[in-house]
A and B are shown apart, each in its own frame.
Chain A
């Protein structure tokens, strides 16, 4: 195999995300933003290509996520928990569009 293979990580409370383990994802237990930060750093240095982070924890990790967003790898992606989406990922994407276009395109009809 010429193409490198990478891990996929999940960071968040184990009770919720453990199901992903059976699919081959690496689930790292984290209950606070601080724990999540350490987990993300560890997964990134292991060469994980994608790290899914519980939206609730990602809230407190703005600078870290911002830093990773400018590197080709890993991709940090927020996922909801059982209580549903907090809309953070949408908000983040809206800011990205704003950054790219220079104006707030998706402002109305959001």
Chain B
């Protein structure tokens, strides 16, 4: 690597300070990376099995729902879903409390369901047992589905931050720190060389004076 600095003691001090700073930053970033990784692996652990369980439940729910849809006329079904009780007002209404949480300075959302909804407030006379089953399944799986969303989102955000941190650690480790070390070595050598040459000059001058 080409080193372009003035070989002076001032410069040596400056470069040494920069090296110390880079090493400190390196250590801190490494700690940050390790802790982020630790949190990430915890999420991996939490998610294990959760997605499979949720997917299984959803598939069953959708199947029931499709059967119900086949059994009932479209109008009756839609009416059951939309006009039963105060459903029309509630459909699409905010039902989630969102709080931002900081994990190692990464902002991750935490979700909390607001109220457990009673899903089948429609006229029972016109609807099928299969529809009941589907909607019960959905309402049972919803908390887990929300949890899954929270975990997967946190994993996405943490993975991004871990990658960034790792890149910084590597840049310090493989580029900046070796570069600074080399610069310092270069200055030392240049200073030593200057010292030797000035000493040799002094000796020669001494010789000349003595000879005179």
* Interface residue count on the A side (C-beta < 8 Å): 45
Residue A101 interfacial (CB < 8 Å): yes
Candidates B58, B66, B77, B91; contact of A79 at CB < 8 Å: B58
Q: A1 — nearest CB in chain B belongs to which residue?
A: B97
- Asked if B91 and A26 make an inter-chain contact with CB atoms under 8 angstroms apart, the answer reads yes
- Asked if A80 and B58 make an inter-chain contact with CB atoms under 8 angstroms apart, the answer reads yes
Residue B150 interfacial (CB < 8 Å): yes
With contact pairs A16-B62, A23-B117 given, residues A5 and B98 touching in the complex (Cβ less than 8 Å)? yes
Q: A43 — nearest CB in chain B belongs to which residue?
A: B92
Residue A6 interfacial (CB < 8 Å): yes
Cα–Cα, bound, A73→B31 (Å): 27
Candidates A24, A26, A52, A82; contact of B62 at CB < 8 Å: A82
Q: A81 — nearest CB in chain B belongs to which residue?
A: B62
- Asked if B55 and A5 make an inter-chain contact with CB atoms under 8 angstroms apart, the answer reads no
Give a binary string over B84-124; 1 marks a CB under 8 Å from any A CB, 0 the rest: 10010011111111111000000111010010010110100
Does more than half of chain A's interface fall in helix, strand or loop, or is it mixed?
mixed
Q: Among the listed stretches B8-16, B137-145, B176-184, B190-198, which one makes contact with chain A, having 4 or more residues with CB under 8 Å of it?
A: B137-145
Question: How close is B152's CB to chain A, nearest CB, in angstroms?
Answer: 6
Cα–Cα, bound, A23→B59 (Å): 17
Question: How close is A101's CB to chain B, nearest CB, in angstroms?
Answer: 7
A25-42 CB contacts (< 8 Å) to partner B = 25-27
* 12 A-B residue pairings within 8 Å (CB atoms): A3-B99, A21-B82, A21-B87, A23-B95, A23-B119, A23-B135, A49-B98, A49-B109, A69-B157, A84-B59, A99-B163, A102-B166
Show the binding face of A for B, using Cβ within 8 Å.
Answer: 1, 3-8, 15-27, 49-50, 52, 69-70, 72-73, 75, 77, 79-85, 89-90, 93, 96-97, 99-102
Q: Which 8 A-B pairs have the closest CB atoms?
A: A26-B92, A5-B94, A82-B62, A75-B153, A100-B159, A69-B156, A24-B95, A100-B162
